[in-house]
Amino acid sequence: MTQYWSDSDPVTTPASSLNLDKPVVIGEVPSSGSQNSVQQYLDAIYTNGYAGVLFWSVNGSDSASNYNGTKSILKTWAQTHARDVNITKKNFALRQHPTVPTSPHQSPPPAP
């Protein structure tokens, strides 16, 4: 997971450009007081190949927090993209890249 900072904006920076070997979740994205709306963040982070986003903040009362005002946006977005964002045993298994043992005595690595 990486923390959101305006100099590494996930709206304009594709996850692939970070050259990481694991999925990237963006954390502490403002839910208020930003140049981008929650909808814009959700769409851009999804389009740019990130594994997820955590908005700031459920309990915060600062200028970057508006969880109560964005719940309906989050719910609608999640419902619209349910096939891609809902983690179930079936769709999680479909997304895995299994490691094939190279010998009958070699065990595959443990699941993450």
**Residue 30 within a domain:** yes
Mean pLDDT score of the chain? 78
Say how many domains are in the chain.
1
Q: Is residue 99 part of a domain?
A: no
* Within a domain: 68: yes
pTM: 0.70
32 within 8 A of 69, measured Cβ to Cβ = yes
Bridge partner list, 27: 3
Order the strands of the 2-3 sheet from edge to edge.
2-3, 25-30, 52-56
- Determine, yes or no, domain membership for 93: no
pLDDT digits (tens, 9 = 90+) for 16-57: 988 888 888 888 889 999 889 999 999 999 999 988 888 888
Task: Identify whether 104 is part of a domain.
Answer: no
Q: Please state, in angstroms and rounded to a whole number, the distance separating the CA atoms of residues 4 and 101.
A: 38
Domain, as residue range, for 34: 2-88
Q: Cα–Cα–Cα angle for 11, 15, 20, nearest 5°? A: 150
Please check whether residue 101 lies inside any domain of the structure: no
Q: Specify if 112 maps to a domain.
A: no
